[in-house]
Structure 1
Amino acid sequence: MKTQINTLKKLLFVALSSAVIYSCKDENWEPVNNYDAEIGTGENTNFDAITDTYADVSGLPYINMWGYRNVHDPSVIKVGDTYYMYSTDVAFGVSVKPGIQVRKSKDLINWTFEGWVFDGLPKKGVEYITQNGGTPDNSLWAPYIMEVNGEYRLYYSLASNKGRLSVTGLATSSSPMGPWVEKDIVVTSKDDNSIGTNAIDPTVLVADGRHIMYYGSSWDGIYKLELDPATGLAKNAGDRGTRIVQRGMTGGMRNGNLEGPEIIYNAEQKKYYLFLAYDWLQTKYNVRVARSDSPDGPFLDYNGANVNNNIDSAPMIIAPYQFKGHSGWQGVSHPGVFKGENNQYYIAHQGRPGVNSFYMDLHVRELYWMQDGWPVASPERYAAVTQKEIKSADLAGTYEQIVLGYNVVPGYGNEQTSPDFQLSSETILSPNGTINNDPNNTWSFNAPYLTLSWGNGAFKDILYVKYGRDWENKVSSTILFTGLNQFGTAIWAKKIK
């Protein structure tokens, strides 16, 4: 079953081949019109122009209109007052040129398409694959961007037609806009029985002078690999590192895909957080988190279990969901976690609308750290909503609430055909402090945390409260909450009246 993963992905990541040049801008663009003017900027943003589907502007003639569209596997870095995003080569319904897509933004809402890192496939990655009997894909996957002493390092993934015959390579530049120079291959994998994982999906952590890459996918989980800080390449040539994460199994089959790691260190929490992508990217794709006191692990889940011991970890902080009046969002993973203004963390990922899972929209959400040190994600996309004091009286009202439950469906694309949408239900926070007018269920508020107590205190949800946009109902500002119950299950809600 695992040998089908790259083949299935290729059906989603179609690209055109072209000669290798190293640049960010494509001087042959023929803009159709200025879509950015339609969306606007800052306080003048026209959110209604940000649509779920975009068939009429998905092709190459409309690249200046892509913005948040055709985004998969985003990696974001903030340089000065600008955010730069690099992502996989994809487009809805059409072939696209390979090279890693580049976008930038001032506000995390309005994005302009800036071109490609490469004008084609990197030469050294192609050579490795062809020398090992494979044909490289005409697309690059899952880049990771970082800055080291004024040098921008961009790691990329190149897969092939042969299972896990893949490479992760490195390109460098003195500017986030390029031009980029291909340095070398960082780590490789072969389509054989050798120990290791698929050499895709890199992320890099700098800790105590060390540079450590975390990468991989289902074949043998997620690995960590020591890099040379001076070059950004493997410290020891040919090294593939050691495994740190592996998923559980049911009936002799893996419970689903495992890929797309993202590692950060939160200095306030004094812990390392490893975000992971679970399940099939077009349907059940979801985000899990593990944490450790050391960059070397062990990384533990919500229940204190080592995520390298063939388990499915918790908490799951983002998963396919559906609020009323909307087709829902599936495929909501491959997280890119980064810091913005005022030490605010964000998580970027793709979102595929329930009406058609081949569209890929950029979602950016705020992350909050709860009192127990676990991160949670906003139930709605970031919209720069003005914040004001929230009092207990403001919380009384009717909410749409989603409990991010989960059903195990072992397998990959052939088995996980359903997104397993988690549906919203109505919850009322009454002014008298009860939930749904039941005296056995009560709520209390100690800003910014809301506590929902169920069954006379037998169960409790601790939730972070903030204003945000209701995207489904096109309401510019409403109260949102997000958090975890005592079992590590994520709870989302938005106030609707």
Structure 2
Amino acid sequence: MTLTEPAAAVADAALEVTAGWGARHAHDPTAVRDDDGTYWLFSTDASGAGPLPRAGVQVRRSEDLVAWTFHGWALDGVPADAAAWTGAGGLWAPDVVRVPDAVAVPDDGRWRMYYSASSFGSRTSAIGLATAPHPAGPWTDRGLVVTSRHDVDGPNAIDANAVVDADGRHWLVYGSFFGGIHALGIDPATGFVLGSGGRPRPGPGLLLARRPHAVEAAVEGAFALPRPGGGYALLTSFDSLFGTYHLRVVAGPSVTGPYADVRGRSATDVAADPVGSTVLAGHRLAGGRGWLAPGHASVLTEPLPGGSSRQLLVHHVRDADDPTQHEVQVRRLVWTAGGWPLVSPQPWAGPGREQDDEAAWPATVAELAGTWEVVTFARGDAFTASASRVVGAEGPPGAVALGRGRFAWDGSVGGGGRPVEAVAFPAWDGVRERATLACAALDTGTGVVTVGTLVEPAAAVEPAP
């Protein structure tokens, strides 16, 4: 679209305000990589510094996923249909995806952005669709895809996640608080709900996850991703946006579920709440900043030379000392031998500091020996300080190496329980500014996740004669 002179002047003034933001004020982020290797970040129209200079989905770019440059806005404010339906002053939680090459779409429709329009505490909401030939734009609004009304029971039409499953079927996973998380089938050619004729659909679709009204049904920001070996993991955010917000995971055989946690509890069973393992929650590492309320995550999957790939969790987090201030963080996402996703305790440090070759990740239990700084997410709604833990050359009780950084050892309750599944991998210690190892472990008996950073490696121990 071409801006009028007054609109262009507003845009220029807004860019001047945001020029130094970098990673700050990025909420509900999603990242993609273009064909040239540049990363593009899209996020909610929100600022911890006060009123926004304008609306239309914030866009940033980066060469390394560490340093971000504010690029502008995807759209010229809130599209007319979204504004008329919701009265929203800004757009939330964009999900940006590249349409697979196998799907015939116009050149300006290869990239899709599903944006949300609403207001706090209301489910008079809408998910809209915009398309572009490139993540940098230009973006063209195509209209509303899913709508909801506050006085009608059902899911809140925000927080879209577009997914293409292993059979080539397209889905829109969505929902926030109120009626839970649902999924609708999407027409690959148009990006609209199947059978809708390109018109807004009121939902609800298939129920994937929900929480009881006693906790305000506080589940949102869903993201479905394929598991190694088949099936899907569903990441969702629980609880209060400014304090106890945290990230949990369940898994199921397909995008549409049914989803359950590692203990077998159903994601739709409100009596079992809270369901899922906490993979990231508020915490503070010794000597570092406190990170509060991490969540509303997406996952960037990108190919690597040799045919492998890496996955990175992209999420927002708040400053524990000033919860109004938020920013984007990126962390490595790894999979246990049993197919559960876990994330690094250390934010992503970029090329030259991270090691992607899993063949070079720890291969023996002895490599885990030393003093670790650990954080255990026993309760996702708690802010947790780190603790110190010493690991000997023999590792935890019953520890065995499974290859490519994967390990397992006895369960936590007196040993002999269901195993702990762990992944150890090279990382960059952002507090001490040095290369080290990180580890993330899931107790499959309790569902408790512990993450750690090796702070004092032990010298190699010779085996006893």
Q: Which residue of the partner structure matches residue 72 of structure 2?
A: 115
* Within-5 A mapping of 1:165-176: 165-176=124-135
Once the two structures are superposed, residues 324-351 of structure 1 have per-residue CA deviations (whole angstroms, 9 ceiling, x without a partner) of: 2234211100011120232111110001
- Number of aligned pairs? 422
1:481 aligns to what? 439
User: For residues 27 and 445 of structure 1, do their structure 2 counterparts lie closer, same or farther at Cα, with a shift above 3 Å needed?
Assistant: farther
Q: Is the 8 A contact 1:461 1:491 kept in 2?
A: no
Partners of 1:328 and 1:227 in 2: CA distance: 40
Question: Which blocks of at least 5 consecutive residues in structure 1 are unaligned?
Answer: 1-18, 32-58, 130-135, 408-418, 436-440
Identity %: 28
DSSP 3-state at the match of 2:188: coil
Q: Does 1:198 align with 2:156?
A: yes
- Are residues 26 and 320 of structure 1, via their aligned partners in 2, closer, same or farther at CA, if it must alter by over 3 Å? farther
- Cα distance in 1 between the residues matched to 2:8 and 2:347: 30
Aligned 1:325-344 pairs, distance under 5 A: 325-342=287-304, 343-344=309-310
SS of the residue 1:137 aligns to: coil
Write the deviation string for residues 331-376 of structure 1: whole angstroms up to 9, x where unpaired.
Answer: 1000111202321111100011211111112111111111111111
1:260 counterpart = 2:221: yes
Cα distance change on mapping 1:456 and 1:210 into 2, 3 Å: closer
Residue identity matched to 2:378: G
- Contact 2:372 / 2:454 at 8 angstroms: preserved in 1? yes
Residue number in structure 1 paired with 2:34: 79
Match of 2:280 among 293, 318, 321: 318
Residue equivalent to 1:301: 261
When residues 462 and 297 of structure 1 are mapped into structure 2, their CA distance, relative to the original with a 3 A threshold, is closer
Counterpart for residue 462 of structure 2: none
Match of 1:269 in 2: 229
2:47 corresponds in structure 1 to 91
Deviation of the 1:463 alpha carbon: 1.5
In 2: Cα distance, 1:220 partner to 1:349 partner: 23
Q: How far does the alpha carbon of each residue in 1:232-258 deviate from its partner, in whole angstroms, 9 at most, with x for none?
A: 112233340324234443xx6126511
Q: Report if aligned partners of 1:21, 1:118 keep a CA contact under 8 Å in 2.
A: no
Distance across 1 between alignment mates of 2:69 and 2:395: 47
Tell me how far apart the structure 2 counterparts of residues 470 and 187 of structure 1 sit (CA, whole Å): 43
Residue 316 of structure 2 aligns with which residue? 350
- For residues 279 and 172 of structure 2, the distance between their equivalents in structure 1, rounded to whole angstroms, comes to 23
Where 1:125 maps in the other structure, the secondary structure is: helix
Matches within 5 A, 1:50-449: 61-80=16-35, 81-96=37-52, 97-129=54-86, 136-148=87-99, 149=101, 151-160=110-119, 163-192=122-151, 194-207=152-165, 208-237=167-196, 238-249=201-212, 253-254=214-215, 257-266=218-227, 268-310=228-270, 311-342=273-304, 343-384=309-350, 385-387=353-355, 390=362, 392-406=365-379, 420-431=382-393, 433=394, 441=397, 443=399, 445-447=401-403, 448-449=405-406
SS of the counterpart of 1:204?
strand
Asked if the contact 2:442–2:450 (Cα under 8 Å) also holds between the matched residues in 1, the reply is yes
Distance of aligned partners of 1:127 and 1:474 in 2 relative to their CA distance in 1, 3 Å threshold: same
Preserved contact between residue 208 and residue 257 of structure 2 (Cα < 8 Å): no
Cα distance in structure 1, aligned partners of 2:395 and 2:76: 60
- What is the CA distance between 1:188 and its match in structure 2? 0.6
Matched-pair contact (CA < 8 Å) for 1:405–1:422: no
Q: Deviations over 1:146-176 (max 9, x none)?
A: 1224511111011037721111111111121
Query: Tell me, what secondary structure is at the counterpart of 1:95?
Result: coil
Cα RMSD, aligned residues only: 2.6
Report the TM-score, using the length of structure 1 for normalisation: 0.78
Q: CA shift at 1:27, angstroms? A: 7.2
Helix, strand or coil: the match of 1:229? coil
TM normalised by structure 2 equals 0.84
Aligned residue type for 1:294: S
8 Å Cα contact 1:298-1:306 kept in structure 2: yes
| Rounded Cα–Cα distance in structure 1 between residues aligned with 2:236 and 2:24 | 23
How big is each residue's C-alpha offset from its partner over 1:451-484, in whole Å with a ceiling of 9 and x where there is no partner? 454576335433211111222x232211110120
What displacement does 1:94 show?
2.1
